[in-house]
Amino acid sequence: MTGQITLLAFFQSLLNEVNDMKKLNRIDSKGITLIELLVALVICGVVIAGIYRLFIAQSKAYTVQDQVVEVQQSIRSAMEILLRDLRMAGFDSDNVASKINIANPIIAGDHSATVSYEYDDTHRHDITYSLMNGSLTRQLTISPDVGLSTTTTDTLLENVDALNFEYGVDTNDDGALDSWVSAGGIGTAKVVAVRIVLTAKPDQTNPDVKNWVSPRTLTSAVTLRNQYLK
């Protein structure tokens, strides 16, 4: 009798295990519901949208910074060319065989300037810097001692807001800079230095750059060494 009870209990236990396995199989075969799928899609959409917005913001910031660097480098390059020519103002090789005469080394203006110097024993250069249609232009006139002059105009920098010149003058001919004046205040004094203020802005075709980037200004001063030596 005891053996029968034990055997019956064993089969009952085995039957319970089979039923439990069937329940697990039914649960495992159920999968995910439509609501769970929709929730997962919504979460993925929110994450993707956030990543996209971050990518767009980073792209705009990169474009703006790239334009800032570009305009700053362009201003420096244009300023270096301008300063190089100003340093040559009044240069004369003093070669007795040269027929080049530099009567007026610099023609001063508040928003333009013309420098003249002897390029070699047979050629004189007159270079005018000015604003033309929002661009900084360099007009070079080459005058040989024999023959006709030639003139070329190059654009050094676009989107220029301002080009201003101030002049350091030696009023008592002691070889020292006495004061900074505008073009109208030079009078008969000798110009021995020039200060340039150049303001430009990035390309305005990109609305982000136009709205976010303010114009950049570079100020430089140069001594007219050939004037000091005279």
Q: Which of 49-63, 164-178, 201-215 has the lowest mean pLDDT?
A: 201-215
| Res. 7: pLDDT tops 60 | no
d(CA 73, CA 79): 10
25, containing H or E segment: helix 2-28
- Determine phi and psi for 146, rounding to 5 degrees: -135, 125
For the chain, the straight-line distance linking the first and the last C-alpha, in angstroms and rounded, comes to 137
Encode burial over 104-125: b for 16+ CB neighbours within 10 A, e otherwise.
Answer: ebbebbeebbbbbbbeeeeebb
The structural domains of the chain, with segments of one domain joined by +, span: 59-228
Tell me: the pLDDT tens digits for 42-101?
A: 899 999 998 988 888 888 777 777 788 888 899 999 999 999 999 999 888 777 777 888
Q: Look at residue 99 in the predicted model and tell me its pLDDT.
A: 80
Q: Which residue has the higher pLDDT, 176 or 139?
A: 139
Considering the entire predicted model, what is its pTM? Answer: 0.73
Quickly tell me which residue has 């075709």 as its tokens: 205
- Cross-strand bridge partners of residue 132: 135
| Res. 2: pLDDT tops 50 | no
